[in-house]
Structure 1
Amino acid sequence: PQYQALFRGREILGKPFLEALPEFCDQPFAGLIRAVMETGVPYVGREELARHASQLGGPLENHYYDFTYVRLEDDEGGTLGVYNHAVDVTDRVRARRESEKAAAALQASVIDLEQERDLREKFVAALTHDLRTPITSAKLMAQLLERNANSPENARKAQRITASMDRADGMIRDLLDASRIKAGLSLNLKPQQCDITEVAQSTVNELTLIYGNRFLFTSPGPVRGVWDATAIRRILENLATNAIKYGAGDRPIHINVSGTMDELALSSQNEGTSIPAEAQRDLFQLFRRSDTAEAGKQEGWGIGLSLVHGLAKAHGGNVGVISGPEQGTTFWVKLRALPTTLTAAPLA
């Protein structure tokens, strides 16, 4: 019988309840049985704890049961006894409790992560504010030196200082936006009518001041439409500096812009060590760098390409990479024109 499987090695048939199972003396079941016998009211238990030994002489163990006590009567209404229908639900109870425990731990982790995110955002905001103040002062002094330069050479030096200050300010902005991407927040866009060819040419000129004549810029002509010119400038800057870091130092970097008033295509192409296929899928994840990049001498945060991806998504576009030993490495970005009423776009 099934009950013998619960109480192995015991002779319990025909014995009074507490004589057969003395470990139940201090538990409520004998009282419940008496109440059902006296009142005739059935009792239904759900996942109730019963401590008993599984075999004779064994230790007490926790078991859980769904059960029903029903009084049995003869034809004249006399009490014959109590019928007990019980189902061992110990495994179910333990599994649910483990699940509840895991859910509670997960919820605690979520709360900790949210607190960490809030602290990180506050820290980044405070840090960037403190950094921008001296950068702004240095930039103003460089601009003053440029205006009052006594030779073309000094003017060029002042321009390079200004460009470097702009780069530092851009890195701070990248850090802020990386924090927003990490938190799943939106990146703000400012749509405006502009010619992206002019924006790209200006960006390449500024990069040339810093890195020298490394860039070859091509475009079929003006590409006018509604875009966020600053965001596109940042995309090109990150693609170009990525090519500078990881491309062949003695080969040119090709920057291309093409498109229509509705769609825009940007790309950067460099020669050098190719990116393995298995590493390409993680390139646009925040704070992720390929094994080749980690093994190289160039340091990085793993932010630039994730920002390119975030800015492209905010434009309703996408990004990708093609890399191989023969063709080098090409990062491409495709963007859609923005509605003029757009102020921010959520990250997908």
Structure 2
Amino acid sequence: MSNQASDRLQQNVERIMHLWEKRARDEVNASIHHDSLVLQDSLPLYLNQLVDELSNRIDRTPARIAADEVESTRIGKKHGHERAGYADYSMTQLIFEYHILRQVIFQVLEEEAPLEVRERDIIIGSIEQAVNDAATQFSETLRDIQELFMVTLTHDLRGPLNVVKMGSQLTLRRLKRGDSHVDVAVRMLNAINRLDSMIQNLLDASRLRAGQSLNIEFEECDLEVLVQEVVEDLSFAYGERFVVVCDSDIRSYCSRKEIRRVIENLAVNAVKYGASGTPITLTLQQTETQISLTIHNEGDPIALDAQSILFQQFRRTISAEEQTGWGLGLFLVKSITEAHQGTIEIESAEGTGTSFIIKLPKVPDRVA
């Protein structure tokens, strides 16, 4: 292979970037908002790297090839990182930029003579790798930006929400029993608690997506007392629909706060999606090493295809589309359960209703 392609590319880097920018401004909507230097960012670096890949003046030792791959990846990721920082750029537009660049490179380099097959393969392979690197980094950077936004937003919401919550609690305490405004105050407080729970779910989901673990603090818990407390609170909002069936003296090492969230979430879901007016049964059982909590409701079964997505974040079944929430509740139920080294199962069939079954070790390995 001669150096003609490498030399022509080196001589035409500025022209290629000029032609590329002109087409990008005509065909990539997001590009019209940026000046020339911002728009081009790392692409001239990429072209210079491609000059070296096409050259036969450089001894292509395994070490040199590996170094070039590292540098090429760095440049591609730099481009993807920078594009993700612009709110108007999408993944599709990022990839399209590279398609335009490939077309312009071939257009300029083949003006005088066709490229050799090997030269075309090098260019195509290089462009494909650059697209992969840029797209991967674009996704990772966009995810990080979204996570930071979510954490910041939910944190900032907590302040005014706590003020409203405290005010509602104070108002409720000062109202006399039988006052017609008690029901309004209770509804307000329940709505605030639901919003607070949704915010906490967003924060926890953000941590999990970022690869962090939930902050689980284990302590000895009387699970029967915990279930009874949850049922008492829920009965205040949803009526006397809850039935507790429990073995005696069920204790475990767990996070009282997080297991309470699991019970509340599953019980409220049973209210939302179960048959109206039918009982919701919470059953606690134990063996020597394991505790089982089953929350059962009557009503239509959950289809098998819907069961497969129940525990995925931001996914909702058709029956849940009209309900409020982020679609994070069951994702977090599963995450909390697994953080306790437990499992969650679903049993749902026509005529028998739906059961969510949580199984927890009495003493998780990290506590034993």
Report matched runs for 1:1-20 at 5 Å: none
Report matched runs for 1:107-126 at 5 Å: 107-126=133-152
- Structure 1 residue corresponding to 2:255, chosen from 222, 225, 228: 228
- Which residue is equivalent to 1:178? 205
> Is 1:278 the counterpart of 2:319 in the alignment?
no
- Whether the 8 Å CA contact 1:193–1:227 is kept in 2: the answer is yes
- Structure 1 residue corresponding to 2:234, chosen from 194, 201, 207: 207
Structure 1 Cα separation of the partners of residues 136 and 291 of structure 2? 39
Structure 1 Cα separation of the partners of residues 302 and 177 of structure 2? 45
Report matched runs for 1:19-30 at 5 Å: none
- Structure 1 residue corresponding to 2:266, chosen from 233, 236, 239: 239
- Whether the 8 Å CA contact 1:182–1:286 is kept in 2: the answer is no
Report matched runs for 1:78-157 at 5 Å: 94=121, 100-151=126-177, 153=179
- Whether the 8 Å CA contact 2:292–2:358 is kept in 1: the answer is yes
In the superposition, relative to structure 1, how do residues 61 and 128 fare at CA in structure 2: closer, same or farther (>3 Å)? closer
Q: 1:157: Cα distance to partner?
A: 6.1
> Is 1:307 the counterpart of 2:332 in the alignment?
yes
Structure 1 Cα separation of the partners of residues 117 and 158 of structure 2? 65
In the superposition, relative to structure 1, how do residues 318 and 141 fare at CA in structure 2: closer, same or farther (>3 Å)? same
- Whether the 8 Å CA contact 1:246–1:298 is kept in 2: the answer is no
> Is 1:63 the counterpart of 2:117 in the alignment?
yes
In the superposition, relative to structure 1, how do residues 60 and 169 fare at CA in structure 2: closer, same or farther (>3 Å)? closer
The residue type equivalent to 1:227 in the other structure is C
- Whether the 8 Å CA contact 2:347–2:354 is kept in 1: the answer is yes
The percent of aligned pairs where both chains have the same amino acid is 37
Q: Deviation digits for residues 148-199 of structure 1, max 9, x if unmatched?
A: 3333556676555444433321221011112222333211111111101111
- Which residue is equivalent to 1:21? none
Q: 1:321: Cα distance to partner?
A: 0.8
- Which residue is equivalent to 1:198? 225
- Which residue is equivalent to 1:316? 341
TM-score by length of 1: 0.66
- Which residue is equivalent to 2:353? 328
- Whether the 8 Å CA contact 1:197–1:223 is kept in 2: the answer is yes
- Whether the 8 Å CA contact 1:271–1:329 is kept in 2: the answer is yes
The residue type equivalent to 2:240 in the other structure is N
Structure 2 Cα separation of the partners of residues 316 and 155 of structure 1? 42
Q: 1:200: Cα distance to partner?
A: 1.1
Structure 2 Cα separation of the partners of residues 61 and 128 of structure 1? 55
- Whether the 8 Å CA contact 2:340–2:364 is kept in 1: the answer is no
Structure 1 Cα separation of the partners of residues 186 and 276 of structure 2? 24
Q: 1:205: Cα distance to partner?
A: 1.3
Q: 1:337: Cα distance to partner?
A: 4.0
Structure 2 Cα separation of the partners of residues 99 and 282 of structure 1? 37
Report matched runs for 1:27-46 at 5 Å: none
Structure 1 Cα separation of the partners of residues 165 and 178 of structure 2? 19
The residue type equivalent to 2:357 in the other structure is W
The residue type equivalent to 2:116 in the other structure is N
- Whether the 8 Å CA contact 2:342–2:359 is kept in 1: the answer is yes
Q: What root-mean-square deviation, in Å, do the aligned CA atoms of Structure 1 and Structure 2 show?
A: 3.3
Structure 1 Cα separation of the partners of residues 124 and 277 of structure 2? 60
Q: 1:232: Cα distance to partner?
A: 0.7
The residue type equivalent to 1:187 in the other structure is L
Q: Deviation digits for residues 12-52 of structure 1, max 9, x if unmatched?
A: xxxxxxxxxxxx9x89xxxxxxxxxxxxxxxxx98xxxxxx
**Structure with greater helix percent:** 2
TM-score by length of 2: 0.62
- Whether the 8 Å CA contact 1:275–1:324 is kept in 2: the answer is yes
The residue type equivalent to 1:259 in the other structure is Q
Q: 1:303: Cα distance to partner?
A: 0.9
**Structure with greater strand percent:** 1
- Whether the 8 Å CA contact 1:225–1:262 is kept in 2: the answer is no
The residue type equivalent to 2:261 in the other structure is R
- Whether the 8 Å CA contact 2:242–2:281 is kept in 1: the answer is yes
Structure 2 Cα separation of the partners of residues 214 and 278 of structure 1? 29
What is the number of equivalent residue pairs in this alignment? 263
Structure 2 Cα separation of the partners of residues 106 and 98 of structure 1? 12
- Whether the 8 Å CA contact 2:346–2:354 is kept in 1: the answer is yes
Compare CA radii of gyration and give the structure with the larger one: 1
The residue type equivalent to 1:176 in the other structure is L
- Which residue is equivalent to 1:166? 193
The residue type equivalent to 1:229 in the other structure is R
- Whether the 8 Å CA contact 2:337–2:343 is kept in 1: the answer is yes
- The alignment partner of 1:177 has SS state of helix
